[in-house]
Amino acid sequence: TTTTTTTTAAIGTHGLAAETLKNIVLAGIGRVRVRDDGKNASSHTFGKDGNFLNVASDASEETSLAKAMVRTLEEMNPFATIEAENEVNMPLTDEEVEYYSQFDVVVACGFDYASSALINAKCRLAKCGFFVARASATSSSFFVDLGDAFEYISTGGSAAKDGEAVAPPQKETETFCAIDEAVTSSWSDIGKRASRLPAAMTVLWKFEQREKRAASDEDFERLRVEANARAAACGKPENFIADDALRVLLPAKIEIPAVNAIGGGILAQEVLKAVSHKGAPCANFFVFDCVSGQGSIQRLSA
């Protein structure tokens, strides 16, 4: 598979989606479909949602947000095929499996847990890769599911010493799970020095799964109680998940462009790996936060 013959669907309207789309298009993926799936999305929200693809020059026209984004992306790479879904009459979650079958990869930004799980399940049936990403004021993260047996070509070994031959690229296989399995991930194997943010995200997912809504600052004490209960069940001490780890992931009304730039850059890189099957993919959760200034990858599975 080459990047010039693949089709990627990107759904989302805010800063993280814009950063990811920019990097995907500049890298030269053959065909990109942009879908505006926001209930209150508008093509006239310039500077209010971090979406720099929605430029002010479009303000005089009545156009969809997806179309406004595509116009900017076409200027960035006139050789790419970029399309907008302008008349979307139903949420992405209501689309049939056949809809997903037309894509090699679906990248969904800003969806809650319930929607993510439903989209993930349909992507699995359609045998297309699935990425779901979200951003808060101080963090960005994404979950990846590329199927039960994703094959890729490793990049080979590093330069050998004393004139030894460099190990050639090898064909490898990576196993992924759906997000509804990842949400029950055990914390037993998390080391002392490992980031606790991936585990903290499963606490937020569990809350969304149970309450059918996103968590907020008012829910913090409930989240901490649940985190401590999960920690005890896995043989971990109380406060295994620090308060800051939970707070940094809570949804926010604003997104920081610099955080989106980092998250969108890493996400786009992983999309390229998924469509080209070259290089070891992220398996299966990535998170970056500006408090620590670090990004971390952790496998979440039951």
- What contacts 121, CB < 8 A, 6 or more positions away? 178, 180
Residue 98 CB coordination number (10 Å): 10
Q: How far apart are CA 244 and CA 241, in angstroms?
A: 8
User: 9: helix, coil or strand?
Assistant: strand
Domain locations in the chain as residue ranges: 7-152+253-298, 179-248
Q: Which CATH superfamily is domain 7-152+253-298 in?
A: NAD(P)-binding Rossmann-like Domain (3.40.50.720)
End-to-end CA distance of the chain: 31
This prediction has a pTM of 0.89
Give me the tens of pLDDT residue by residue for the chain, a chain 302 residues long: 444 556 787 887 788 999 999 999 998 887 899 988 755 455 555 555 678 888 765 455 667 788 888 999 999 999 889 998 866 667 889 999 999 999 999 999 989 999 999 999 999 999 999 999 999 888 999 999 999 999 999 876 555 556 666 677 889 999 999 999 999 888 888 888 888 999 999 999 999 999 999 899 999 999 999 999 999 998 899 889 999 999 999 887 777 888 999 999 999 999 999 999 999 999 999 999 888 888 999 998 86
